[in-house]
Homo-oligomer: A and B are copies of this chain.
């Protein structure tokens, strides 16, 4: 059987809010990655995405569903979310974006820090 999603799945990596490359809304990319290896239930998704309120997670899922990237199926007594072929095809550009982010993450943070420091000094003067 498929493994449950680890609760700390996104603790380290993917500070997607800081990444200039974004897929859909704030959590969409993480949701897609959660569905990479097969369908998941709402409550399963909530484990790694435990910092997302149910309302916001629902919004994200609805948006993905609207774009045809995710399919929502009522499989009584549960509801399952799974990637459509189009949704799955998004993994490729996501992987490229992730590779870019990993390669340039430090430069990016350094640039931001320098910029902010320079700016702070400017205002102090």
Contacts and interface: CB of A to CB of B under 8 A. Distances in A.
Interface stretch (A34-42, A43-51, A111-119): A111-119
A24 B20 contact: yes
B20 A110 contact: no
**Range for the number of chain A residues in contact with chain B:** 20 to 34
Nearest to A100: B93
Interface of A: 20-24, 28, 65-69, 86, 89-90, 92-93, 96-97, 99-100, 103-104, 107-108, 110-112, 115-116
A89 B66 contact: no
Stoichiometry, as copies per complex, reads 2
A103 B69 CA distance: 14
Given A66-B115, A112-B67, A23 B24 contact: no
A97 B93 contact: yes
Contacts of A97: 21, 93, 96-97
Given A86-B104, A92-B96, A92-B100, A111 B24 contact: no
Contacts of A90: 20, 100
A68 B104 CA distance: 10
